[in-house]
């Protein structure tokens, strides 16, 4: 079959190398946002500002990334994955150097925009590459491995940022990000082939003499995919789920750190490790489970129903994610000393595990139903998520100060339960939802 041949272009070893490359590149933007978190007090002092103001740099990074990823994804559909990677990463190199040299809050914010512009393609392009390489029954496992690597960023970045801030300066971490971006650019330049399926790029439809000409594309066209109630529901569910992780991690220096007298930036960063372990275990586990669910339910029914993959999200969505953030707020508020700290570390692990149990199958589902526009689908997802996360990061400090940590986390937990209901509704009514508006959903034959 033509589609089978497209998946057989690369050997298993070559696929592993490519997944490793795009996973490393996808990890960089999460280090770009996460490395700020334990350093916020030091950055605020260095730039004569406040923690609330400097935390906006995290919001700006997330929002810019969600917006610019639409641009990179749209052009990757036309030109392919490789040239877009190589165009984006120089912005990351220059932007990271600029952030490291910033002397005012305004300079910091401006360079964060440039930095995020270069980093923002890593997630949606990486998911698109996974869709290019792996057929349906293998995609969940591969996507899980990609997520396991990429989502190590939120917990490990604060550790790296905290160590740099404590033993040197917060600026050092930004220079490290510039070096990592340069390293990624070099690896991709020499080792990454074009993975788009033959004939699937927009430029393939043009005459050969016009394929190198620059084409002006509307990056917002990817947003039209959100007309799909399925994609919108899953994207909102992922956003509400990931917000719980940000509610736990962004203010950690001012919540868990202050409550348990942890003032060392490196130790504060180390508190993020349990969440990372949860990510590392949860993503590949969720991916493998979702692949098995697809095979099981297709065998049972005799027909492929894309929403079956989302069944693997429900345990995380209904239990692990909301309970972890709810209990963390209560424990931090009412439990003193070592028992409270240990309980919080366990809940951070629980949250990291639960978040990946939701996000990994959800990403695979997006690629399943929009295979030929997978990067654009993930970009639309990322934009919605970036918008939600930027608002959440902006509001977390005011909510904690106004309502108290327990009530702030309760709000995040209620949002997570709303996400679980969205996923449940999509599982039960997904086919009817797809019939409401056909945006060019992918068939079983096109996925295999």
Number of Cβ atoms within 10 Å of the Cβ of 438: 8
pLDDT at 423: 98
pLDDT at 7: 86
CATH code of the domain covering residue 354 = 1.20.1250.20
User: Is residue 214 situated within a structural domain?
Assistant: no
Contact 396, 247 (CB under 8 A): yes
Contact 313, 321 (CB under 8 A): no
User: Is residue 80 situated within a structural domain?
Assistant: yes
pLDDT at 290: 93
pLDDT at 232: 95
User: Is residue 4 situated within a structural domain?
Assistant: no
User: Is residue 206 situated within a structural domain?
Assistant: no
- Structural domain total, the chain: 1
Output the CA torsion sign for 218, 224, 225, 231. Answer: positive
Q: CA nearest 198: which of 367, 75, 80? A: 80
Q: What b/e readout covers 372-395, taking b as 16+ CB neighbours within 10 angstroms?
A: ebbbbbbbbbbbbbbebbbebbbb
Distance of alpha carbon 28 from alpha carbon 122, whole angstroms: 8
User: Is residue 328 situated within a structural domain?
Assistant: yes
Tokens 């028992």 belong to which residue? 339
Going from the C-alpha of 403 to that of each of 118, 341, 344, 380, 409, the distances in angstroms are 37, 22, 20, 33, 10
Distance of alpha carbon 143 from alpha carbon 378, whole angstroms: 12
| Sequence-distant (≥ 6) Cβ neighbours of residue 52 within 8 angstroms | 397, 398
Q: CA nearest 317: which of 393, 397, 427, 212? A: 427
SS3 (DSSP) at 231: helix
Contact 415, 403 (CB under 8 A): no
- CA 48 to chain centroid: 31
User: Is residue 317 situated within a structural domain?
Assistant: yes
Contact 377, 301 (CB under 8 A): no
Give every residue of the chain whose pLDDT is below 70, as ranges.
1-4, 155, 445-448
Distance of alpha carbon 96 from alpha carbon 115, whole angstroms: 5
Contact 172, 265 (CB under 8 A): no
Distance of alpha carbon 164 from alpha carbon 159, whole angstroms: 9
Q: CA nearest 29: which of 114, 98, 129? A: 114
User: Is residue 210 situated within a structural domain?
Assistant: no
User: Is residue 212 situated within a structural domain?
Assistant: no
Question: pTM of the prediction?
Answer: 0.81
- Structural domain boundaries enclosing 32: 9-197+219-447
Distance of alpha carbon 322 from alpha carbon 335, whole angstroms: 19
């Amino acid at each position: 079959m033509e589609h089978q041949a497209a998946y057989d272009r690369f050997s298993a070893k070559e696929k592993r190398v490519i997944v490793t490359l795009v996973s490393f590149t996808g990890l960089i933007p999460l280090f770009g946002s996460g490395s700020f978190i334990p350093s916020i007090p030091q950055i605020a002092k260095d730039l004569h500002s406040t923690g609330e103001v400097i935390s906006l740099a995290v919001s700006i990074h997330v929002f810019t990334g969600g917006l610019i990823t639409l641009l990179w994804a749209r052009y990757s559909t036309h030109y392919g994955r490789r040239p877009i990677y190589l165009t984006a990463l120089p912005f990351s190199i220059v932007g990271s150097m600029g952030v490291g040299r910033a002397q005012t809050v305004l300079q910091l914010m401006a360079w964060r925009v440039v930095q995020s512009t270069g980093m923002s393609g890593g997630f949606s392009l990486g998911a698109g590459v996974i869709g290019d390489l792996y057929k349906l029954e293998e995609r969940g496992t591969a996507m899980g491995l990609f997520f396991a690597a990429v989502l190590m960023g939120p917990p490990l970045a604060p550790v790296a940022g905290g160590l740099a801030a404590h033993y040197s300066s917060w600026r050092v971490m930004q220079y490290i990000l510039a070096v990592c971006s340069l390293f990624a650019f070099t690896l991709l330049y020499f080792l990454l082939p074009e993975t788009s399926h033959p004939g699937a790029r927009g430029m393939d439809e043009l005459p050969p003499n016009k394929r190198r000409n620059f084409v002006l594309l509307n990056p917002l066209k990817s947003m039209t995919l959100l007309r799909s109630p399925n994609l919108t529901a899953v994207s909102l569910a992922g956003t509400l789920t990931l917000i719980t992780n940000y509610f736990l991690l962004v203010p950690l220096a001012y919540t868990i750190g202050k409550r348990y007298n942890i003032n060392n930036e490196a130790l504060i960063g180390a508190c993020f490790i349990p969440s990372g372990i949860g990510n590392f275990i949860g993503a590949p586990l969720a991916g493998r489970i979702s692949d098995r669910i697809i095979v099981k339910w297709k065998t049972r029914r005799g027909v492929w129903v894309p929403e079956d993959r989302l069944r693997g999200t429900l345990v995380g969505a209904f239990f692990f994610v909301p309970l972890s953030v709810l209990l963390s707020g209560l424990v931090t508020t009412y439990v003193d000393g070592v028992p409270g700290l240990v309980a919080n570390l366990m809940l951070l692990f629980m949250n990291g595990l639960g978040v990946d149990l939701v996000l990994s199958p959800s990403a695979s589902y997006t690629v399943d139903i929009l295979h030929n526009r997978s990067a654009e689908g993930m970009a639309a997802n990322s934009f919605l998520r970036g918008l939600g996360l930027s608002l959440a990061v902006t509001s977390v400090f005011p909510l904690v100060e106004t309502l108290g940590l327990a009530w702030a986390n309760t709000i995040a937990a209620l949002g997570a339960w709303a996400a679980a209901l969205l996923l449940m509704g999509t599982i039960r009514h997904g086919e009817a939802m797809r019939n409401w508006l056909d945006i060019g959903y992918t068939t079983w034959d096109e996925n295999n």
